[in-house]
Structure 1
Amino acid sequence: MADIRTAWIGLGGDWRLSGPSLDEDDGLETGVVISLFTDRVADNGEAGVAATARRGWWGDAYADASGDRIGSRLWLLAREKRTAEVMSRAELYAREALQWLITDGVARSVAVTAEAAGQAGEVLALAVTITRSARPVVQFRFESFWKGQ
């Protein structure tokens, strides 16, 4: 069954047209975009985050499975400098956000690589590779979602 395709365009998610209708996909791209670019609630005591500014979706408090949360903590990196430690955290946060693909049996594995892109390395780029059973490997690259210090 097809879903409306949500693609990452520029600095945000958007729907694309296919002729006079909205474009469709199998839901994978939409799931990845929502998982990576929706703000996940920060953990209690997360460095630099006030207890009243943890963001995230209020509906996570009512998740069917305990601890099930939507989104990623990539937003925590918006003011960070481009260091190897920040790149490692970006990979960790992206894998954490996409873990549901493996848990729910959508994918066998998810690989994420973060790197500095752009002319001066000012952009955090994510390369995501999703391996599914009996289906082609899917790759996504996101570059324009974050510019560091």
Structure 2
Amino acid sequence: MIDKDCDVNTVTESREVTTIVYTFDGRKVTKVTTTVTETRDRTALKKECPFKPKPTGTSTYSLDGTKLTISAPKGIAPANAEWQYVLDGRNVDVGTLTLDKGSHQLVLYVDGKRVDYDVVRVSVWATKPSGTIIDWMKYWRGFSRR
């Protein structure tokens, strides 16, 4: 399910850390594995989530796991849109992008693998025929991991 209200302030993740301890009683080597739990604060993201589309026309979007579908406002040519995706602070290349009658439908891939993610920032710009860049839509949206 999508975190529509962006009401998740913290994300807790656990990982195993392996420490190799060398002792000097003979040739003994001790391998210790511990579990470390980290909690990341998402309060800063919550303050900006979600952005509303700017009034440049009627624009709709639907989010489903790793798929984002956006229908473009009238007067903006989808083929002229520039897309930027930021995932966990890193720019992400879009591995699959199809355009179909005024809507963008895409799936995110990183290193050739489909991405399951919890936060993605999508910034969209479009260009008018005159060359003027329109700030079409910016928003944060939360995703749950699958």
Q: Tell me which interval the TM-score lies in, with the shorter structure as reference length.
A: 0.3 to 0.5
Question: Greater CA radius of gyration, 1 or 2?
Answer: 2
Higher-strand-fraction structure: 2
* Structure with greater helix share of residues: 1
TM-score, structure 2 as length reference: 0.35
| TM-score normalised over the length of structure 1 | 0.34
